[in-house]
Amino acid sequence: MANQRSYQFNQMDYPLPSSKRLRGRRAVEQRIRRLRKEPLCRDCLTDGRTTEATVPDHIIPLAKGGTDHDSNIRCLCHKCHVKRTSEQFGHRPRVNIGPDGWPI
């Protein structure tokens, strides 16, 4: 069995997704349906702002074992989606630096 290769995988940080992500035309149709159902950003409405939702976001990400069911979806604007995704995956917010070299 000299031709067999063995692969060693590191332990994954997240479980495998429990549902398969849609691709192509079906995904576009699903995205449009969800945005029509919830046309305003859920997070902005909570803060008292009215902003158009542009991204259907998974409440529990698929990468962390979430499903692609409508009960696991919230529609957000781009700004809120970036913020939520950063929080879910442990990314730090970017700090802007002024011309004097100090954080703004």
Residue range 42-95, pLDDT digits in tens = 999 999 999 999 999 999 988 888 888 889 999 999 999 999 998 888 887 778
Could you tell me the residue range of the domain that residue 79 belongs to?
Answer: 24-88
Q: Is residue 71 assigned to a domain?
A: yes
- At residue 11, what are phi and psi to the nearest 5 degrees? -65, 135
* pLDDT at 1 (0 to 100): 45
The total number of structural domains in the chain stands at 1
Joined together, the tokens standing for residue 8 give 């060693």
Q: Is residue 100 assigned to a domain?
A: no
Q: Is residue 16 assigned to a domain?
A: no
pTM equals 0.66
